[in-house]
Amino acid sequence: MTINTTPPELPKVTTGALPASRKVWKAGTLHPEIRVPMREIALHPSAGEPDVRVYDSSGPYTDPEAAIDTAAGLPRHREAWIAARGDTETYLGRATRPEDNGRDEASGKLRPFPRAHAPRRATGDRAVTQLAYARAGIVTPEMEFVAIRENMGRDAALARPRDGESFGAAIPDHVTPEFVREEIARGRAIIPANVNHPELEPMIIGRNFLVKINANIGNSAVTSSMDEEVEKMVWATRWGADTVMDLSTGRDIHDIRDWILRNSPVPIGTVPLYQALEKVGGIAEDLTWEVFRDTLIEQAEQGVDYFTIHAGLRLHHVPLTIDRVTGIVSRGGSIMAKWCLHHHRESFLYEHFEEICEICRRYDVSFSLGDGLRPGSIADANDAAQFAELETLGELTQIAWKHDCQVMIEGPGHVAMHKIKENMDKQLACCDEAPFYTLGPLTTDIAPGYDHITSGIGAAMIGWFGCAMLCYVTPKEHLGLPDRDDVKTGVITYKIAAHAADLAKGHPGAQVRDDALSRARFEFRWEDQFNLALDPDTARSMHDETLPKEAHKTAHFCSMCGPKFCSMRISHDIRSEAQKEGMAKMAEKFREGGALYLPETEA
Amino acid sequence: MTINTTPPELPKVTTGALPASRKVWKAGTLHPEIRVPMREIALHPSAGEPDVRVYDSSGPYTDPEAAIDTAAGLPRHREAWIAARGDTETYLGRATRPEDNGRDEASGKLRPFPRAHAPRRATGDRAVTQLAYARAGIVTPEMEFVAIRENMGRDAALARPRDGESFGAAIPDHVTPEFVREEIARGRAIIPANVNHPELEPMIIGRNFLVKINANIGNSAVTSSMDEEVEKMVWATRWGADTVMDLSTGRDIHDIRDWILRNSPVPIGTVPLYQALEKVGGIAEDLTWEVFRDTLIEQAEQGVDYFTIHAGLRLHHVPLTIDRVTGIVSRGGSIMAKWCLHHHRESFLYEHFEEICEICRRYDVSFSLGDGLRPGSIADANDAAQFAELETLGELTQIAWKHDCQVMIEGPGHVAMHKIKENMDKQLACCDEAPFYTLGPLTTDIAPGYDHITSGIGAAMIGWFGCAMLCYVTPKEHLGLPDRDDVKTGVITYKIAAHAADLAKGHPGAQVRDDALSRARFEFRWEDQFNLALDPDTARSMHDETLPKEAHKTAHFCSMCGPKFCSMRISHDIRSEAQKEGMAKMAEKFREGGALYLPETEA
């Protein structure tokens, strides 16, 4: 792992392959031009089993062959796919204004992304969304791309015996492009892919696919910079973030977003309300539909792939929050609630929702309908305010679908374990199986500093129950802005939650990696065990703390039990003993001899 | 938090109160001589609510008034209670031999605990177990102690509305000494309390009480020392470990155990087989009932509170493990399997189980019936070997109860989420509700270095389903021997899991701390938020990384969102606005005006 050297004033990002890993690509069949990346982890020859292919969200940064230049951005490989559809036009986009970066007038401090690209939009009032294509029976390159990606290079013929409880999900043994099309047409899955984010490697979010995770980055008025945020994005995808939300709220957020988008291989989500608020000097009451609409177009032209829109929070919901322990904890939710109350008016997001759809369909920006009234504490979980808003989100889902817009629904928050499934079941019912996208949920409030864990528990469970994407929580939640290390801890914790959910749902490909790692563990192939881990660097360094020597990488024990007490080593002795005499036969012979206490089951 | 200064050659342990905390005691009613410790967390006066009392497992080490001298050991406060029962005698115990410390002959390296105590045992063949007393209708001081302790100082009259799903548990609003007696008599709970561990502050393990956690410590042949292990014990209890298992397998383990026991305020568990194996030079085949029996008496005289005994692993079970991915991963299980196979004989632990009971009942050593065949990988979960052993453990439970011995049952291991509940349900059925004590379970195998998290997920779930005690897993699991930092991380993670389980079960006292912390969070009482956290030090330091100033401890924002975007601050504005005009009325007025899209529910 090396830090590549772009000129000092440009963002430095982490590049290089993961240990024992190489990037491999699989071409499309319907669309031979697509190249779907996967990571292949090489095992020791003694393993006598094939190398393990895993899902790879890290983009070109982990490809040693790729030339990374953050000032140039990533290759715009989707541009040809989009142009070939012949339903979009490039045009002279909206000019950037100082206030887009939270400034009064143009200032030397700004650092725009060096290359400008003319934005693209649908011609006329066409919908250029994956949903529109799916409904029209078209299998796009994006659809075939995610189909290949979801199979992680598994042989279509190789269907494992299914083991799991999926609570009504319908995960196929093998994902076909046609299956992807059907799920998108049904509204049960989305491919967030703005026509202005051609650098994107498409991914899919839906309960019948691998559970995905999102990493939040972004500066705040108090701390951080563009350079840090671009590296956080690259760092998050290196460890497995499937999408990244840029929640910047400080200055220069237009430019920071440009830098992130041009260098991001994963979909980027935002909460446009944050920038709109900056444009009106941070005064919620001064927000207007016009300022918000302008911000949507600004961000759609930049290439944001999904917008969090808190249109489900209505004026008459606000009183429901008055007796809560922690009130409204969604930033967007609290801003809109304040606006509604001040003006004694219905939310302009709700009133103008159809116009928002008309914008999103022209760029294929997906909706992430925000849960402005999510509970911020165990005490407030599953209350009237939360579920009233969820019902409105169900109503808005139908409207978005009417406009051929892709939709997912945001969920809580803080929820004790026994109340988690109700959230999932109610969301599926209210929103007609549109993908659910939850933050955690945190299963207790008493561990600030460890909320990646309090929430990882809830995230694994709701992922099992059917949640399509899990928004990570870092150790800094409630305490401060996460740094690079917090981002990694959050991502790894959520990869664990998502994978535990895939296993429990019975995803046909999930257990392959567990089994390969367990065999490596049982056979003392330490290097293979490290390399197959979600975080090979940490696994290796923890082992080497006590047993640093190279010889220990093949030792039949570790410092936890030492040589004499290694149960796995003894298990090998047992197996070799078993060879001598047929073990089953020998055990049977003994049983005839009779034991002292025969259990009822044997009596 | 300070490191106290005992002479350099003696173990240094962490002492001092936790932030804003003082130790308070509640006296008994039936037994006025008992003093039950609790930790009281002081809140800022502006909170306008009572200080919060929490369960305190840390013993005298967190009492600034207590004089700590590890060479003297803790006060032997239970001695009087035990003597008063008049059913035990002190006697000249077994003499320590060099081989007890894994040595060929006495060696200067040994460092015995300075003070010898004559061991105590039942007179004649009496049972001096809490189970025997409970069945005889006697409420012991230990029973009243845990009753007071479980209520955490809550007012008996103050019964909260119940909220939770307990899956058939029967958690009372208020725990009475009589309820404790009944649960113990029923075999549904245990108080591990050897008559030779009078320093102990009694605690109870059962599904109708607070979920407990165990921390494993102990050196291995490869690393660590007595000093480190004593501090690990104190450190683990400081952060909330309810019991500690000394799994030492290296040299000097008799002496290390002595030092730990004499200084431990919590029950100490061991796996006697480990020391027995050391006595026969680490050759499993050379183990004999006589060596094992001698080790049981040695450790019972020292004061070990519970023994892990792998008597459920029978010869005819071994063949069931042959096709496993990871074979036998229990150290004790693999040793016994090898012994059985080598001698083609039934396990001597199984054949001599009644004699083991006769030893345990004379000292009140509780059984922790070991799961020698627990799965070591997702692939092996819930297989024939695991469940065959569990049925045998149910049979042994009945035998132990026949001898008035207290029993809990050990459980897995590595289990995907959808297979966890089957483990709990089967254990309750096979073992007639004897307390279940599980390791994790780990919900995936792919994250070595993060197995506190992969297992914390499973631990929270099985705790919810009815598991009485959760054995922690540290980040070093599978990689090396945990150090002091790993111990803390493991303990905090498992306190989270246990508490999340208590909340989900609807424990009447559990949510008090969550609510107090959430109110502190909403009211920007940062110090209260830190002090109420499971780990105040980490919460404070994470906050201070970006906002170190004292002024920020009352600031109405943190660096995560900055002042303009703090949803909680905005919520306060909303509430004050709401005062002006009756909010509900105003919202109602608006609704008459009609919204654009009326949801079905409103149409």
pLDDT tens digits for B450-464? 999 999 999 999 999
Are A559 and B595 in contact (CB < 8 Å)? no
Shortest CA distance from B216: residue in chain A: A560
Are A547 and B457 in contact (CB < 8 Å)? no
pLDDT of residue A8: 46
What are the chain A neighbours of B328 within 8 Å (beta carbons)? 567, 570-571, 574
> Binding site membership of B for Zn(2+): which residues?
414, 478
Shortest CA distance from A374: residue in chain B: B567
Please tell me if residue B560 touches chain A, with a CB cutoff of 8 Å: yes
Query: Residue B293 burial (CB < 10 Å; 0-12/13-18/19+)?
Result: middle
Are A534 and B446 in contact (CB < 8 Å)? yes
Are A546 and B480 in contact (CB < 8 Å)? yes
Instruction: Find residue A269's DSSP bridge partners.
Output: A245, A306
Taking residues B86-111, report their average pLDDT: 82
Q: Which residues of B365-403 are buried (b: 16+ CB within 10 A; e: fewer)?
A: bbbbbbbbbbbbbbbbbbeebbbbbbbbbbbbbbbbbeb
Residue A337 has pLDDT above 60, yes or no: yes
> Binding site membership of A for Zn(2+): which residues?
414, 478
Structure tokens at B105: 């002959």
Per-residue pLDDT band at B602 (split at 50, 70, 90): very low
- CA–CA separation, A397 vs A401, rounded Å? 6
Please tell me if residue A474 touches chain B, with a CB cutoff of 8 Å: no
- CA–CA separation, B77 vs B83, rounded Å? 11
Give Cα separations from B93 to A461, B263, B298, B421 (angstroms). Answer: 52, 20, 8, 45
Residue A602 has pLDDT above 70, yes or no: no
pLDDT > 70 in chain B, percent: 92
pLDDT of residue B560: 73
Please tell me if residue A112 touches chain B, with a CB cutoff of 8 Å: no
Are B461 and A417 in contact (CB < 8 Å)? yes
Tell me which DSSP letter residue B176 carries.
-
H helix intervals, A151-191: 177-185
The answer to whether A372 and A337 are in contact (CB under 8 A) is yes
pLDDT of residue B388: 98
pLDDT of residue B3: 55
Residue B187 has pLDDT above 70, yes or no: yes
Residues 313-372 of B with CB under 8 A from A: 314-316, 318-319, 321-322, 325-331, 333-335, 337-338, 341-342, 344-346, 350-351, 353
Are B574 and A333 in contact (CB < 8 Å)? no
Per-residue pLDDT band at A219 (split at 50, 70, 90): confident
Please tell me if residue B280 touches chain A, with a CB cutoff of 8 Å: no
- CA–CA separation, A388 vs A401, rounded Å? 21
The answer to whether B281 and A564 are in contact (CB under 8 A) is no
pLDDT > 90 in chain A, percent: 80
Q: Which residue has the tokens 């979980």?
A: A381
pLDDT of residue B598: 38
Are B450 and A314 in contact (CB < 8 Å)? no
Shortest CA distance from A505: residue in chain B: B418
3-state secondary structure string, B434-494? Answer: CCEEEECCECCCCCCCCHHHHHHHHHHHHHHHCCCEEECCCCCCCCCCCCHHHHHHHHHHH
Name the residue facing A481 among B518, B560, B578 (closest C-beta). Answer: B560
- List pLDDT tens digits, range A137-179: 999 999 999 999 999 988 776 667 788 999 999 999 999 999 9
Mean pLDDT of chain B: 92
pLDDT of residue B226: 83
Residue from A322, A324, A444 to probe the interface with B (highest B Cβ count within 10 Å) = A444
Residue from A223, A271, A518 to probe the interface with B (highest B Cβ count within 10 Å) = A518
Per-residue pLDDT band at B5 (split at 50, 70, 90): very low
pLDDT of residue A238: 98
Q: A543-557, A580-594, B11-25: which range is least confident on average?
A: A580-594
Q: Which residue has the tokens 């528990």?
A: A457
Question: From the CA of B69, how many Å to the nearest CA of chain A?
Answer: 30
Residues 12-31 of B with CB under 8 A from A: none
Taking residues A351-356, report their average pLDDT: 98
Give the torsion sign (CA, B556, B560, B562, B567). Answer: negative
- List pLDDT tens digits, range B591-600: 554 443 333 3
Are B499 and A444 in contact (CB < 8 Å)? yes
Are A476 and B530 in contact (CB < 8 Å)? no
Taking residues A512-524, report their average pLDDT: 96
Beta-carbon pairs below 8 A across chains A and B:
477
- CA–CA separation, B551 vs B557, rounded Å? 11
Name the residue facing A249 among B353, B447, B562 (closest C-beta). Answer: B562
Residue B37 has pLDDT above 60, yes or no: yes
Please tell me if residue B461 touches chain A, with a CB cutoff of 8 Å: yes
Q: Which helix (H) or strand (E) holds B259?
A: helix B253-262
Q: What was the ipTM of the complex prediction?
A: 0.95
Under 8 Å CB-to-CB from B287, ≥6 apart: which residues? B273, B276, B277, B280, B335, B339, B348
> Binding site membership of B: which residues?
216, 245, 274, 310, 330-332, 371-374, 410, 414, 437, 478, 558, 561, 566
- CA–CA separation, B448 vs B450, rounded Å? 5
Number of neighbours of residue B200 by Cβ within 10 angstroms: 26
Q: A117-126, A218-227, A313-322: which range is least confident on average?
A: A218-227
pLDDT > 70 in chain A, percent: 92
pLDDT of residue B333: 96
Per-residue pLDDT band at B65 (split at 50, 70, 90): very high
Residues 210-249 of B with CB under 8 A from A: 220-223, 249
Under 8 Å CB-to-CB from A569, ≥6 apart: which residues? A524, A556, A557, A563
pLDDT of residue A389: 98
Name the residue facing A480 among B445, B477, B558 (closest C-beta). Answer: B558
Give Cα separations from B8 to B68, B71, B92, B111, B413 (angstroms). Answer: 14, 11, 32, 14, 40
pLDDT of residue B479: 94
Residue A212 has pLDDT above 50, yes or no: yes
Question: From the CA of A92, how many Å to the nearest CA of chain B?
Answer: 33
Are A417 and B445 in contact (CB < 8 Å)? no
Name the residue facing A515 among B249, B325, B532 (closest C-beta). Answer: B325
- CA–CA separation, B187 vs B208, rounded Å? 12
- CA–CA separation, A482 vs A500, rounded Å? 24
What are the chain B neighbours of A316 within 8 Å (beta carbons)? 587-588, 590-591
Please tell me if residue A272 touches chain B, with a CB cutoff of 8 Å: no
Are A493 and B450 in contact (CB < 8 Å)? yes
Are B517 and A445 in contact (CB < 8 Å)? yes
Residues 522-541 of A with CB under 8 A from B: 522, 529-530, 532-535, 538-539
The answer to whether B404 and B129 are in contact (CB under 8 A) is yes
Per-residue pLDDT band at A585 (split at 50, 70, 90): low
Question: Where would I find the beta strands (DSSP E) of B370-443?
Answer: 407-411, 436-439
Please tell me if residue A42 touches chain B, with a CB cutoff of 8 Å: no
- List pLDDT tens digits, range B536-551: 999 999 999 888 888 8
- List pLDDT tens digits, range B312-366: 999 999 999 999 999 999 999 999 999 999 999 999 999 999 999 999 999 999 9
Residue A259 dihedral angles phi and psi, to the nearest 5°: -60, -40
Shortest CA distance from A518: residue in chain B: B377
Per-residue pLDDT band at B415 (split at 50, 70, 90): very high
Q: Domains (ranges, CATH) in chain B?
A: 143-511 (3.20.20.540), 558-602 (no CATH)
